[in-house]
Amino acid sequence: MAIRNLNCWDILTEAGVALQASGLWPDYHALPSATVERLSAAADRAGYRAPRNANGSRARCFYKAVCQEADRRRKRLV
């Protein structure tokens, strides 16, 4: 399933990730391990596959893609 077809806000909320006061998402490496496990499980449910030439884990790539899509949708609403 494509990232644009997912409800990114729900995925991030269920994983325990909150938008910071500065309007930025927290750094992936600062997330607690339980949050990373929930992101990995969400990637499994979505059938997400990291790009072949990706640097980093599948959960990190998924987090980046979901945050980017959530930012795109937030900017459309403003």
Domains of the chain: total: 1
Task: Report the candidate in 54, 62, 52, 45 with the shortest Cα–Cα distance to residue 3.
Answer: 62
pLDDT band at 29 (very low <50, low <70, confident <90, very high): very high
* Residue 26: domain span: 3-77
Q: What percent of the chain has pLDDT over 90?
A: 71
Give me the chain's average pLDDT, please. Answer: 91
pLDDT at residue number 2: 78
pLDDT, one tens digit per residue, over 47-67 is 999 999 998 899 999 999 999
Task: Report the candidate in 76, 77, 44 with the shortest Cα–Cα distance to residue 58.
Answer: 44
Task: Give me the mean pLDDT over the 30-39 stretch.
Answer: 95
Distances (CA, A) of 53 to 16, 23, 71: 28, 29, 24
